[in-house]
Amino acid sequence: MTEQPQGDLPRNIGAPATRALLGAGYTRLDELAGVPVGELKKLHGMGPKALERLQAALTERGKSLG
């Protein structure tokens, strides 16, 4: 099984959340800027800790989830 490219998604969000994002077509952190939290919560494997870590990573770039 070949690994999918992860782009620049934070590694600390965990494998299930990474798979969920890749499956939804998100490969780069900047693509998540403005995406509603409610939409991301619907992805299987996306938990509150992963969402917090994504928000923190976006905040470092001056961006935010929707």
Cα(31)–Cα(56) distance, integer angstroms:
15
Q: Which residues contact 62 (CB under 8 A, 6 or more apart)?
A: none
Cα(40)–Cα(46) distance, integer angstroms:
7
Half-sphere exposure of 40 (CA within 13 A, CB side): 28
Angle ∠(9,24,37) on CA atoms, nearest 5: 75
pLDDT in tens, 25-48: 999 999 999 999 999 999 999 999
pTM for this structure?
A: 0.88
Extract the tokens encoding 30.
């900047």
Average pLDDT over residues 4-30: 91
